[in-house]
A and B are shown apart, each in its own frame.
Chain A
Amino acid sequence: MVAGLVSLRHCCRTILGEAFNTRVALPRASFPHPRPLAGARSFTISHVQQARSILDDEGEVNDDWILKTGTGTSGQGPVNIADELTEEDITPTWAEQQFAVRRVPVSASYFTGNATFVDNLLALRALQRKYELLPTIPKDQVPPVKWKTLVEYNALAGKSVSASKFKQLTNILDRLNIIEPTLMPQDVQDVLAWYKRDTQGAVSTQKERTVDEFGRGYGLGRRKTSVARVYVLEGDGQVYINGKTLAEHFERLHDRESAIWPLLVTDRIDKYNVWATVDGGGKTGQAEALTLGVARALMVHEPALKPALRRAGCVTRDHRMVERKKPGHVKARKMPTWVKR
């Protein structure tokens, strides 16, 4: 079978191939999917050969090769083939010069419909598996990094992926990013560099707060509609709010306790003085705005107190505000009493 095929191919090449000095495509028995070659032309090799000889003569029109019908100019009389054909038409394409051609997807993820994304995901997962056992650094010591945004990634990948799928990528990137920097392999570094956003300067680094030249730590606290601007400095436990003492400003014991709660829970009440202005809202709001302000000012002096203050509920801004009244309701949610007719 093979021997016969070879001789057939050889004969055909002898007849056709050498005349045109190219490999002529012929079906091979063991090659699947015999299908017309891409860009197959209607004219034969002899046409091309003749046209080439015409072009070679440059200007000398050979009357033997005037076709009776031409493309696009039917009814206009005889058309010179040399005018129609350009050098590009005559040069056979790569596919035409091959013995046989088949179409093959570039990526193994072709049938997923988004090959770039799936390939990227698989590459990152392979990296993660490879370096799973490398030591990592604690999350709070990881340098801040911004990955490419979804829009940027989609522009590079050429197809759009959903945010949740893109999150799969960034999750792996975050995991790779916490590998101990001295042990970070080069291939991981390259990959991370590719996924990093170009404008790394845009990373918002939190400004480190320090005590000012008078030894004061400053903190701003808000609660409901109150705003407290607080200065905390080392001292013996004096507290002045809007120029008045704590007891003068807050009648309720509960509010007094709230205002200096951060000092109370950390056992620092006799070690710092507080000087604050508080504005807006009611007494409770003002007291709890002070809590946040005092806590923030205290953390300027002693950053290590943050976990303890967080446990005491002094670090997080309480974002709850008065709920608006809705039409048809008596208050925010209260409905008018039902009346029988």
Chain B
Amino acid sequence: MIIRRALPRPGLPAPSQCLRFPRQQRTLATSPGPESDLARHGKVLPTEPPARSQGHRIRPVTADRPFTLKDEFENFQNFRKQSSHTGSRLSRHYAPYKHASRPPSPSDLTLELLMASGAHLGHATALWNPGNQRYIFGIRNGIHIIGLEHTLSHLRRAARVVDRVVEVFGTVLVVGTRAGQERTVVQTAEMMGGYHLFTRWTAGGITNARQILAGEKVVEINDLGEPNPSGPMEDPIPVRPDLVICLNPLENYVLLKECGQFGIPTIGVIDTDADPTWVTYPIPANDDSLRCISLIAGVLGRAGQAGLRRREAEVAEWKLEGEQEDEEAMMEEEEQVEDEQMEIKNWEDFENYMKKREALQDEQLKEINKIQEDLPSTPTLW
């Protein structure tokens, strides 16, 4: 559609003049810019490399050899690397983001840390579920405040459950389907060698798993962690989780119900508006705060990691045991072979001896016969 007011008016620069300005590009601050600028600055640029005292060397820029973006980027990286240790350093300060990437272990957990993560903040009092009465500390500004002693003790109990389940080869599923929980969920599952779910739970994933999980690959693994060399199974029976950690039970009622039907224990973060009977091991805490959720998931992940490490140590022990048994079996086999060989040798000796003896006896017999033949015949008396 023609836009009539686009006509140039006196006093304003013509569109053709506007075009002279290059389009904004993402470049680094030290970029030499277009060629005209380079020529203008060409005189003042140093022709020799800068002194080493500057820390990083940059080759001289000339009109025929301008910096490419790659050079710029590498220089920038070098500069960052070398200057990263300069300046003042803050120590012993609260950096909440660290709990997401390096979560504390259950034993390092404190009430202060939970409070700093906002774990105590519940929902408006009108929204409460009376099942949470014993976890609630009080009311402030119209919202329920969760007692953090309960949070801490329940979280530690859940951590022990995770630890032990992972140690005995349990399959742990970590579920967090709210926006922003994806990385927390994936990281937690990774720490404990478990499974993650950050998208909607497909209803029937446990009760109708034959249909829902058809075509998903399952492999047989022996006690030493070695997979079946012939690859994944053909048409396997679907695997069920042995423990489900749910970071937002309110949105995952279907999953929790399926777990209940199959007796799969569940751990869930229960806010003041959630029903604590939906899960086996509730953790009363604020499920709307990503910081709180990442802290809780991180603690559970650490617990699972400890269990995983113990399990790996145990498997390594079994492996060693198996190797020793194999060695013993080999030794026994060798001994048996030696015994048999000795036996055969003895038998052969015996046979030779007997042959010799027979031969000797034959000779003696022959001699006796000969002597008897040579004797003069005695006259018969009758």
Report which A residues bind B (CB closer than 8 A): 6, 10, 13, 18, 28, 30-33, 38, 94-95, 98-113, 115, 118, 122, 134-136, 138, 158-159, 180, 182-183, 258, 261, 264-267, 288, 291, 304-305, 307-308, 311-314, 316, 318
Contact = CB atoms under 8 A, between A and B. Distances in A.
Contact of B19 (A122, A305, A316): A305
B43 to A, nearest CB: 28
Interface SS of chain B: helix, strand, loop or mixed? loop
Nearest to B212: A113
B220 A135 contact: no
Interface string B211-244: 0110111111111000111101100110101100
A267 B16 contact: yes
A307 B22 CA distance: 12
Interface range, B side: 35 or more
Nearest to B240: A111
Given A38-B220, A108-B194, A313-B2, A158 B232 contact: no
Given A312-B6, A313-B6, A183 B69 contact: yes
Given A113-B202, A135-B26, A183-B70, A122 B220 contact: no
B199 A112 contact: yes
B196 interface: yes
A110 B215 CA distance: 10
Q: Of B72, B212, B223, B329, which is in contact with the most chain A CB atoms at under 10 Å from its CB? A: B223
Given A32-B242, A267-B16, 9 more contacts: A30-B314, A33-B169, A105-B216, A106-B216, A107-B216, A108-B194, A110-B218, A311-B3, A312-B3
A267 B321 CA distance: 90
A288 B2 contact: yes
B197 A111 contact: yes
Q: Of B8, B212, B241, which is in contact with the most chain A CB atoms at under 10 Å from its CB? A: B8
B220 A31 contact: no
Contact of A135 (B27, B202, B218, B219): B27
A282 to B, nearest CB: 16
B6 A265 contact: yes
B293 to A, nearest CB: 19
A183 B73 contact: yes
A276 B220 CA distance: 76
Given A94-B230, A112-B197, A135 B73 contact: yes
Contacts of A288: 2
A122 B199 CA distance: 12
28 contacts: A38-B233, A94-B220, A95-B220, A98-B223, A101-B220, A101-B221, A103-B239, A104-B239, A105-B195, A105-B216, A105-B219, A105-B239, A106-B219, A107-B216, A108-B189, A113-B216, A135-B26, A159-B215, A258-B2, A264-B7, A265-B8, A266-B14, A288-B2, A307-B19, A308-B15, A308-B18, A312-B3, A313-B6
B195 A267 contact: no
A304 B202 contact: no
Contact of A313 (B1, B19, B171, B325): B1
Interface in B234-265: 236-237, 239, 241-242
A109 B15 CA distance: 55
Contacts of A135: 26-28, 69, 72-73
Given A104-B218, A112-B199, A32 B169 contact: yes
A101 B73 contact: no
Q: Of B6, B227, B314, which is in contact with the most chain A CB atoms at under 10 Å from its CB? A: B6
Q: Which 3 A-B pairs have the closest CB atoms?
A: A308-B15, A312-B6, A313-B3
Contacts of A100: 222-223
Contacts of A103: 218-221, 233, 236-237, 239
